Structure 1
């Protein structure tokens, strides 16, 4: 109150002078700290208040790539009031990815993380090592079983058949075929559609099923938007699948409000505070939905007689972990690791797999389709491998053992991710002094690993701008050209020059599930359909933040004609 009384006695001109003086003092202090900082690195000049945000044009991948070309393999930028040391050489950041608690945290803890509901739950954003270890152990136990993998493959095949029905129906509606003609022309149709929209809903339907054991119908909802013929589904886990899918997307895209902006700005600045309120309401909608799902499944389990077999889904495993119903009990030394999970912890793990298993897999598969359509020789080699493992004249049976034989398909996945990284960068925070890239860093340093630049670095990849799956493929043939190419790549490649799923403590626990889905999709789509891009000259439409998203991929799909 005293400060307020002083302010109202000051004239407008004097107030402007006072504000100007404060700005000058802040600017002087800002640049004094900048020019006297330890370990001066090259980088763009930051401005007071906004740092280097004036360079940001909504595409972080292009920004960090261009800065690497200008400033080299290690430079610095300032975002959100934090100095970030950007590293683009694996031998510089190898220490970060080696399993060590020193670089466990992704970023410094803040009130924003707590406000957004990310603190101490799940594994992706959890910065409490003890809590993270418990959640990761429970997460891995729930998905790293043969039953889970087999169920994932089975469901992928089943839901893809559902997707085929939607495509066929839309194609026939478009040409106004009658029901009688549908039967006669079951393999004589084509459809132009945005594959990215279908894949996002396809992966969401799968991940909901494998994580909860029950269905959602995101694809059906999207089909109803496109077709005059509406379908209804019963027994769905989520009544409004489309609303939840959009809520996930909004949650992911708006995290910057809580990672970058301060608490005062979020709570008091007009427009921003209204946006924050909307984001938090969206978060509450997601969490309420999760709580309902967990509550209902817990009740079902309690009503099931002990000894009766339960479903092999992630939610069931998380609810029963370290209880009398846990069929996968393991002996642990620490008491904290042997307790049952709380509903909040279960919700955090459920959130992680639904968030991580929907957009990431869908986007990477769209990138795969784009590259395969642009490289006929790669496509033909892929089709030959698929035909060898899954002969067209034999009964089709999608099994994990057969998917593991698709080495060239796996090489395509890796090369696509190298050329168009799904995750272009990630951060690690050290809360204790450390040594990195020949420098000694004080506690509180934030490192940004620029994967996109590593993947195109000439010191590690011969002809890096060329799409060449053979970099990751070794075949048992007497081809000197291929053997020499592999030897050249392996000779210069650093162990972390390709980190598709990260590394160290934070390596993605869902990597096996992701590869199962991607390989299954490649077989199901290209074995049965001819897929072409509607416009071969159209560049890949991307939106790049921490992760890259496919905004649109227009394709023409028609059944393959087999001899």
Structure 2
């Protein structure tokens, strides 16, 4: 190696060292001059507290609350996250205000202006009645495999296939075959059906990947995602998955919009979600045409049905598993639930459940609320502020990132007696148990709550009635003394093997 080459190498090393020094200097200048500093662990350059957070930010946040209190900060790269775990601190963030400055994810814009109409569309009796009928139809098709002496099933896998089928049919009014895949595998003699089955399976996996991507985008610094090989390739994979979901949704939307445009004015429009969204604020809107309100664009509809698909497939499926697991562990609760089923539906096991029936199930409603409190599906919820704010007496800059610890609020002994116990009665009016504001937030808060919550609860209640009306459920070998879960951006049930036996 020549002398000139050695000098050049030394110069390069010197430049690299200087750049690293300047980066570290800038990083800690930002840290020590930040507005309204809060207690929290000391961050490292480039990664912040990522080496401590690792793969479970929910657990990390819970553990550090004991040390730093209800309001503290953690760092991911050069981004500060303000962590909140007391109802009094989230009042402003979760206030039901259409002009809120706090948003779950900046890229989803559909709540601006049209959001309230979207939620109203998903809670209309017309839509929910159709949805409840579809849920029963799919469940009844599956029963032929259960109506034997005993049937073993992994509810974690089965329910994801079930929710995929019902969600895709609700959105597109076209059949999905994910349950067929669970029962018979992906191969089919008919090549067209085989392709549809593979697409259903791909869609389910894409939704699960999308959920993992949410966590990745929040907690992995931009510099790692863009320049470090392992993170870069993973980010590329997530982007490709998101693009496929968007393209698939847009393709369905555009085709259906053309079909509706070519329909005669007196032809009936379907009650599925896609048709409702496509005709919202148009002359074909059954709820009335208001020229002052613009119809939804294809991109807005795509964002909505993506969000609803995630809630309908993964979120609903996991909530179902958690509710069943808690019920099986509490036979007295099942007994009272079955009494309510008999009171409302009678003894005819073939009687169909109606929308009006669901409104009468007060104890089931309490079961669902308590199960989502005891096992909080979304233990942490992110929010971004678009303007300066004052939280907990601290003046915080615009673009401050927040993490709200739902799980800790749901388990706080300050607001819940015996917080770890499963007691549905605490949500019954007859107990006169007042639930303090912002202490029960399974769907988040403000006008930015999950738009698919009404659909999800209707599906969950219908499934639990159908299951426990006719079947006994038992955990296989009592395997689930510890519920098998993992954290993506929600708690996900990875396995729950049960024995299903007909009661009659």
2:363 aligns to what?
408
Equivalent of residue 344 in structure 1, options 288, 295, 299 = 299
Instruction: Trace 1:97-136 onto structure 2 (pairs within 5 A).
Output: 97-100=94-97, 101-106=99-104, 119=107, 125-126=108-109, 132-136=111-115
Residue 560 (str. 1) matches residue 503 (str. 2)? yes
2:409 aligns to what?
454
**Contact 1:88 / 1:450 at 8 angstroms: preserved in 2?**
yes
3-state SS of the aligned residue for 1:77? strand
Residue 149 (str. 1) matches residue 149 (str. 2)? no
Residue 158 (str. 1) matches residue 156 (str. 2)? no
**Contact 1:103 / 1:428 at 8 angstroms: preserved in 2?**
no
**Contact 1:215 / 1:236 at 8 angstroms: preserved in 2?**
no
Give the drift of 1:256.
4.6
Residue 310 (str. 1) matches residue 310 (str. 2)? no
Task: Return closer, same or farther for 1:432/1:208 CA change in 2, 3 Å cut-off.
Answer: same
Instruction: Trace 1:126-205 onto structure 2 (pairs within 5 A).
Output: 126=109, 132-165=111-144, 167-168=145-146, 187-205=147-165
Task: Return closer, same or farther for 1:347/1:33 CA change in 2, 3 Å cut-off.
Answer: closer
Residue 366 (str. 1) matches residue 309 (str. 2)? no
Deviations 1:35-59 (A, max 9, x none): 4433232211211111111112422
- Which whole-Å CA distance do the structure 1 matches of 2:307 and 2:131 have between them? 17
3-state SS of the aligned residue for 2:269? coil
The unaligned stretches of length 5 or more in structure 1 are 1-6, 110-118, 120-124, 169-186, 476-482
Instruction: Trace 1:173-252 onto structure 2 (pairs within 5 A).
Output: 187-225=147-185, 240-252=199-211
Equivalent of residue 444 in structure 1, options 395, 399, 418 = 399
Equivalent of residue 521 in structure 1, options 454, 463, 466 = 463
The runs of 4+ residues in structure 1 deviating greater than 6 Å are 228-233, 235-238
TM-score, scaled relative to structure 1? 0.82
Give the drift of 1:13.
4.1
Give the drift of 1:329.
2.5
**Contact 2:48 / 2:76 at 8 angstroms: preserved in 1?**
yes
1:509 aligns to what?
451
Give the drift of 1:415.
1.1
Task: Return closer, same or farther for 1:68/1:551 CA change in 2, 3 Å cut-off.
Answer: same
**Contact 1:142 / 1:313 at 8 angstroms: preserved in 2?**
no
**Contact 1:257 / 1:266 at 8 angstroms: preserved in 2?**
no
- Farther-moved stretch of structure 1 (511-520 vs 228-237): 228-237
3-state SS of the aligned residue for 2:384? strand
2:473 aligns to what?
531
Deviations 1:95-118 (A, max 9, x none): 1111343433235x5xxxxxxxxx
Equivalent of residue 235 in structure 2, options 263, 276, 296 = 276
Task: Return closer, same or farther for 1:80/1:36 CA change in 2, 3 Å cut-off.
Answer: closer
Task: Return closer, same or farther for 1:29/1:348 CA change in 2, 3 Å cut-off.
Answer: closer
The unaligned stretches of length 5 or more in structure 2 are none
3-state SS of the aligned residue for 1:291? helix
Give the drift of 1:17.
4.1
Alignment RMSD (CA, Å): 2.7
**Contact 1:53 / 1:79 at 8 angstroms: preserved in 2?**
yes
3-state SS of the aligned residue for 1:549? strand
- Which whole-Å CA distance do the structure 1 matches of 2:57 and 2:225 have between them? 23
1:184 aligns to what?
none
**Contact 1:216 / 1:236 at 8 angstroms: preserved in 2?**
no
Task: Return closer, same or farther for 1:68/1:511 CA change in 2, 3 Å cut-off.
Answer: same
**Contact 1:192 / 1:554 at 8 angstroms: preserved in 2?**
yes
- Which whole-Å CA distance do the structure 2 matches of 1:546 and 1:555 have between them? 26
- Which whole-Å CA distance do the structure 2 matches of 1:394 and 1:26 have between them? 69
Task: Return closer, same or farther for 1:189/1:232 CA change in 2, 3 Å cut-off.
Answer: farther
Deviations 1:236-285 (A, max 9, x none): 97762111111221122124554455666545543443333333332332
- Which whole-Å CA distance do the structure 2 matches of 1:156 and 1:235 have between them? 23
Aligned residues: 499
**Contact 1:320 / 1:326 at 8 angstroms: preserved in 2?**
yes
Give the drift of 1:67.
1.2
- Farther-moved stretch of structure 1 (369-378 vs 438-447): 438-447
Deviations 1:123-158 (A, max 9, x none): xx33xxxx5334424523532321111101100100
3-state SS of the aligned residue for 1:96? coil
- Which whole-Å CA distance do the structure 2 matches of 1:459 and 1:361 have between them? 29
2:255 aligns to what?
296
Equivalent of residue 486 in structure 2, options 540, 543, 549 = 543
Task: Return closer, same or farther for 1:263/1:81 CA change in 2, 3 Å cut-off.
Answer: closer
**Contact 2:406 / 2:442 at 8 angstroms: preserved in 1?**
no
3-state SS of the aligned residue for 2:477? coil
TM-score, scaled relative to structure 2? 0.91
- Farther-moved stretch of structure 1 (276-285 vs 349-358): 276-285
